[in-house]
Structure 1
């Protein structure tokens, strides 16, 4: 897999023949999340996510259709990771360099331009950080106090 990110709901995709990107919407499973500590937004995308699987289902104007509106439809994915299979849909996870095929644009015409994962800072990040380095980088913040406040907020969220 060599340092490639897994793709999740919200990944930005673009067709070679379209004018605007669209965001991937995972519709084939509803339990397996990545990079989402609350497990509410970032469903793992797989090669089973075919059909009308984008938020707007369009990439703007399609050059292959004389600049008429695009009707984004995925018929298959290539370049997915064979070794991770989501048991709910038997789908193999998509990687950031996976490509999709559209019946109009042809094989591998849709690229993933952003995998959809985002980093979330937690109190554990501050606990693991070297306090001396943090003070050098940003001397006006009390990172210990910030970490303690974050930890209390996380604990309160766990009780709700």
Structure 2
């Protein structure tokens, strides 16, 4: 992996002892969003997101509990980004290679399999685009820049 991404609400996690993945739910802060132009759904996940912090709060059946239903409780996260601290919860952002320790397993058995960020094209991305590059990538899209440098996007 050449670059490591920050993790946000909705990241997909799995436990090595479970049978199904679950989505991470950020409950420790409500103001710091990443990769979310409107700031509504992609809260930054931190090492303070412990306890029952998943959407369904289950990874299916748990091999550590004789295949009974999993009820994960996160006791700690490791491999988080320790160079930044969110003021809202004093949390350090989680990275896609962070791992969580579950109270049942007692070891870092929960990993992040998808960081939760998605590509979201904004008007600023289009404005910053090089029309020649766009022409090569998608010849059907004609981006024109007028005489004062404003990008004119045709109606499609």
- TM-score under structure 1 length normalisation: 0.85
Confirm or deny: 8 A CA contact 1:51 1:73 kept in the other structure: yes
1:6-155 matches, within 5 Å, as 6-144=6-144, 148=152
Confirm or deny: 8 A CA contact 1:58 1:69 kept in the other structure: yes
In structure 2, C-alpha distance between the alignment counterparts of 1:33 and 1:138, rounded to whole Å: 31
Report deviation, 1:149.
5.5
Number of residues of Structure 1 aligned to a counterpart in Structure 2:
148
Report deviation, 1:106.
2.4
Unpaired runs of at least 5, structure 1? 151-160
Unpaired runs of at least 5, structure 2? 146-150
CA RMSD of aligned residues (A): 1.9
Deviations 1:47-85 (A, max 9, x none): 110000000000001111111110011011011111110
- The structure that is helix-richer by fraction is 1
Deviations 1:71-110 (A, max 9, x none): 0110110111111101111111111100000011221100
Confirm or deny: 8 A CA contact 2:142 2:153 kept in the other structure: no
Deviations 1:19-41 (A, max 9, x none): 10000000011111111111110
- TM-score under structure 2 length normalisation: 0.87
